[in-house]
Amino acid sequence: MEPSQHSREPLLALRAELGASLPPEVEALPDEALEHLLACVRAQKAHQRGALDTAVEQGLTFVPAMLRGAVRKILFKG
């Protein structure tokens, strides 16, 4: 299937999710493959966010308990 025959939604969604243009080889993938790739990218981003949250919380254990609230406000502006 040529890129022009794609429904534009999976391509646009994948570009938006990655924040970049896609290589022609990826744009040439069938819609089903693009949708699967998009789902994988979204799942990995969610996993990465969770891992980062866990790392931040573990890092804050090195801050004295009385200061953690203030440090969170400084780090996360709120």
E strand spans, 2-71: none
Q: What is the pLDDT along the chain (78 residues), one digit of tens a residue?
A: 454 556 789 999 999 999 999 999 999 999 999 999 999 999 999 999 999 999 999 999 999 999 999 998 998 886
Q: Count other Cβ atoms within 10 Å, centred on residue 34.
A: 21
pTM: 0.73
57: its two tokens: 């919380």
Q: Count other Cβ atoms within 10 Å, centred on residue 29.
A: 19
Residue 49 is predicted with a pLDDT of 96
Tell the residue number behind the tokens 């090195």, with chain if given: 62
Contact indicator for 34, 55 with CB cutoff of 8 Å: no
- How many Å is the Cα radius of gyration of the chain? 19
